[in-house]
Amino acid sequence: MAEVLLFHHAQGLTSGVLEFAQVVQQAGHTVHTPDLYEGKTFSGLDEGVNHARSLGFDTVLERGVQAAQAVPENVVYAGFSLGVLPVAKLATTRPGAVGALFLSGFVPPSEFGTWPGIPAQIHGMNADPEFADSGDLAAAKSFATDSQGRAEVFVYPGSAHLFADASLGEYDESAAGLLTERVLAFLTTV
């Protein structure tokens, strides 16, 4: 079974992120959910992004790197939206990564170094302004093409950004169920 380090999105470590982690744990995996916001959560995405901005994205990223020090090297890095920043950095720079899950966002790992060729999945909605219109989707497709079959991009119909967080109003049960199914299948292969 896999060891997973799961990073939350800009709204913080919500009950929906914890619920997702619990589903993964119930499938037999070990999941760590560090709180990069030190207990703060936000009701809206803009409010959460403003908080991340006030902390400094470098600070949020460094907190993710520090959280990784408490888990084994042979880990799958996973993150929702803002959480893909530490995923890309750690998977690229920390030895021993065995997989990466980019959920509702993507940062080209080349921003941090050379991709180690580990398997990856990228998930997002086709009309999500934060994913499809921001360039994340195009970058994810390019990354997958260059990965020699080690990365897959999954695009779901809809415009919700954090569609897999059951605690938020934009939750899409059907798309979230499919994302979860694909993530669990991925974790059995790493």
Q: Distance between CA 71 and CA 6 in Å, rounded? A: 11
pLDDT at residue 118, rounded to an integer: 97
Q: Distance between CA 61 and CA 128 in Å, rounded? A: 23
Q: Mean pLDDT across the stretch 92-111?
A: 96
HSE (CB half, 13 Å, CA atoms) of 169? 4
Amino acid at 51: H
Sorted by where each starts, the structural domains of the chain and their CATH numbers stand as 3-187 (3.40.50.1820)
Q: What percent of the chain has pLDDT over 90?
A: 97
pLDDT at 4 over 90: yes
pLDDT at 149 over 90: no
pLDDT band at 108 (very low <50, low <70, confident <90, very high): very high
The three state secondary structure string of the chain is CCEEEEECECCECCHHHHHHHHHHHHCCCEEECCCCCCCCECCCHHHHHHHHHHHCHHHHHHHHHHHHCCCCCCCEEEEEHHHHHHHHHHHHHCCCCCEEEEECCCCCHHHCCCCCCCCEEEEEECCCCCCCCCCHHHHHHHHHHHCCCCEEEEEECCCCCCCCCCCCCCCCHHHHHHHHHHHHHHHCCC
